[in-house]
Amino acid sequence: MSKHFVSHDTFVIERNYNALPAKVFAAWSDPEAKGKWFPKADSFDFRVGGREFNQGGPSGGPVFTFDACYQEIVPDERIVYSYTLDMNETRISVSVTTVEFKEAKGGTKLIYTEQCAFLDGHDTVAQREHGTKIMLDKLGELMNEFTYEKSNG
């Protein structure tokens, strides 16, 4: 009989990108753009109540399943979603994530906040934060092709 437990943690990552909030937001909301920096979705329905789903992993390794539901979307400003992450048939975490897009000098300040429930010791906040930083750096590489344009607001 296994002993079940949960550990809770939160992490925040801030990044500055050389593109207006609308461009950075589009990199999250458009499945083709998102697939350039985040694992390509098997299904992608970007609307409140919509889902994003993907499965994959290293050759010969475990299969990871990301299953997200969009809870709130404010175009060019904020995305809030909840998601589960499974490794093979084992649920390893449940999270709520908020992504904020703030206009800043030179482009966009992105604030990524994830509140996590890690289940039965299968994942840790250090591992999750490390992987998220890698993905947000890939997003930065994509955003480098855009130049800052002053908004009309």
Q: What is the mean pLDDT of each run of 10 residues along the chain (153 residues)?
A: 88 96 97 94 98 94 97 98 97 98 94 98 95 96 65 41
Q: Which residues pair with 55 in a beta bridge?
A: 65
pTM for the predicted model, two decimal places: 0.90
pLDDT at residue 146, as a whole number: 55
Instruction: Judge contact between 103 and 16, C-beta under 8 A.
Output: no
- The DSSP secondary-structure symbol of 145 reads T
Q: What is the pLDDT of residues 112-151, one digit of tens each?
A: 999 999 999 999 999 999 999 999 999 999 998 754 343 4
- Helices marked H in 2-114: 21-29, 31-34
Residue 50's SS3 state is coil
